Amino acid sequence: MKNILILTIFASLLIALGQLMFKIAINSPEKINMFFVWGILSYCLAAIPLIYSLKNEKLSKTFPIISLSLAWVYLLSYFVLKESLTVINLVGFIFLIIGITIISYKK
C-alpha cells in the first residue's frame, strides 16, 4: 500500500502540473506552445502510475488521493502564478487534506 500511495500522490502532482501548464499556455499568444505540450505530456505521464495504482488498489482508496491534485493546484497557483489565497481557500485546503487522510487510512 505504501508504494501505491506514493505512486498515486505522484500522479496527482503530475495532474496538477498539467493543469498549471495549460493555464500558462492559454495566456500565451501562441495557440500551441511548449507549455501546452508539457501539459499534455504531464497528463500522459500521470496515467502510468495512476493505472498501476488502480490495478493494485481499490478505486475507493485511490480516487481520494488523486483529488490531492486540487491541493497541489492551490499551492502551485499561489507560488508559481502568484494568485492570492483566501482564508476560505486555506480552510478548504486543510479539510481536503484531513478528508483524504481519513478516507485513505487503512486499519
Give pLDDT tens digits for 52-100. Answer: 999 999 888 888 889 889 889 989 999 999 999 899 988 988 998 898 8
Which residues 6+ apart lie within 8 Å of 42 measured at CB?
14, 15, 17, 18, 21
pTM strictly above 0.85: yes
Rg of the chain (C-alpha set)? 15
- Total count of domains within the chain: 1
What's the domain range around 75? 2-104
The pLDDT value recorded for residue 61 is 84
The pLDDT value recorded for residue 47 is 96
Give pLDDT tens digits for 5-31. Answer: 899 999 999 999 999 999 999 988 877
What grid cell was written down for 51?
Answer: 493505472
